[in-house]
A = this chain, B = another copy of it.
Amino acid sequence: MSSEFGKLLRIAVFGQSHGKAIGVHMDGLPAGEAIDMDALYAFMRRRKPGANPLSTPRKEADLPIFLSGVENGVTCGAPLCAIIENSDQHSGDYAKLANTPRPSHADYTAWVKWGGQADMRGGGHFSGRLTAPLCIAGGIARQILARRGIYVGAHLASVGGEQDAAFPLHPTADLFDSIAAKPFPVLDDEAGERMQQAILDARQAQDSVGGVIECAAIGLPAGLGDPMFDGLENRLAAALFGIPAVKGVEFGLGFGSALLRGSENNDPFRMEDGRVVTETNRAGGILGGITTGMPVTLRVAVKPTPSISKPQQTVDLSTGENTELVIGGRHDPCIAHRAVPVVEAVTAAVLLDILLEGNYGTF
């Protein structure tokens, strides 16, 4: 096992960047769920390269072909498999990488693990391109959740040190929609301008920048998740670290809470309209791995794109000599903004999986 996650809803991603097709397999999806294809395409377009000057100009059709599991646009209960055919690839650009692993890419570790047989053209199975099928899965999950009043949204919290505003205590579906409609997914467009400038500066310098994505899920009932190793944090983190370039995951205040005193970090309970709520939500809607009913909030650290045009030091695996590498081809100076819908996708998929279990604490 490796490129799979989920318990009752199993999601498996397959394909290599320059292979015949990439795709996703979903087993356990409920039957009778209509898939709004236009909405799905719109969701997927948010991670598409080439959408604006900040992204790589590679064109990808990226339109999914459903091989199974969907009849007349509705899930039929059987496992769903959807693929995206590969095209417009410039393998030549990557050919030279075979023996000279790109720093901070998976080229070297894949070579160690799989030997010379590893297909690492364009990053192979480790390519960011594999997040497209993830978005198919998550886009479908998102629609199923929305039908039940559960919404997942995300924004770019920071890029290159420039900060966006934070989500309010009670984010709404409309807020999520408004971010999704923007060419650059931020709350504060002025902050967004600064972030975009940081990206352009990095490109100018033949370099790249990282960023942080903040995601929230609203409408979840209290009582979801399990103690210790099967809570929301465990399951969300396990899946979120599957997004290429993610190096950190935190919930609520996360690492920030380590700087606070208990009296500053605790969320007081109070009654509101007959429901138990918390006045603040530093816990990110999760206590003991289980939802409180407040928004689930999380943040994901995305490292700067390792593919940069600047010359870098590496080794030639065929000769065992140190060598200099200049990566050609076209590369995103930042992938964090494109990863925003991917974080939503993974979050939605994990939440749907947990919801399918029911709140089986009592039966």
On chain A, the number of residues with a Cβ less than 8 Å from chain B's Cβ atoms is: 160
| A96 smallest CB distance to B (angstroms) | 15
Interface bits A68-79 vs B (CB < 8 Å: 1, else 0): 110100111111
Does A94 reach chain B (CB closer than 8 Å)?
no
Whether B67 lies near A265 (C-beta < 8 A) is: no
**Contact stretch, chosen from A42-50, A55-63, A170-178, A201-209:** A201-209
Task: Please name the 7 residue pairs, one residue from A and one from B, whose CB atoms are nearest each other, closest first.
Answer: A106-B288, A77-B114, A2-B226, A248-B250, A78-B125, A30-B363, A113-B361
Is A87 positioned at the interface, with any CB of B under 8 Å from its CB? no
Contact status B68-A15, CB under 8 Å = yes
Q: Does A181 contact B (CB under 8 A)?
A: no
* Interchain CB contact (< 8 A) of A254 among B15, B248, B306: B248
Q: Is A252 a contact partner of B258 (Cβ separation < 8 A)?
A: no
| Contact B361 A308, beta carbon cutoff 8 Å | no
Q: Which residue of B lies closest to A25 (CB)?
A: B25
User: What sequence of 0s and 1s flags, for each residue 186-209 of chain A, a beta carbon within 8 Å of any chain B beta carbon?
Assistant: 000000000000000010010111
Is the CB of A110 closer than 8 A to any CB of chain B? yes
Which of B7, B124, B160, B288 sits near A126, CB closer than 8 Å?
B288
Are B27's CB and A257's CB within 8 A? no
A119 and B361 contact, CB distance less than 8 A: no
Instruction: Report Cα–Cα, A211/B257, bound state, in Å.
Output: 8
Q: Is A358 an interface residue (CB 8 A)?
A: yes
How many Å from the CB of A315 to the closest CB on chain B?
5
A158 interface hit (Cβ, 8 Å): yes
Asked if A230 is at the interface of the complex by the 8 Å CB criterion, the answer is yes
Are A30 and B360 neighbours in the complex by a CB distance under 8 Å?
yes
Q: Which residue of the partner chain, among B83, B109, B259, contacts A292 with CB atoms under 8 Å? A: B109
Contact residues in B for A66 (Cβ distance below 8 Å): 20
In angstroms, how far is the closest chain B Cβ from the Cβ of A198?
Answer: 9
Max count, chain B CB within 10 A of own CB: residue among A13, A268, A283, A303 = A303
Whole-angstrom CA separation of A267 from B79 in the bound complex: 28
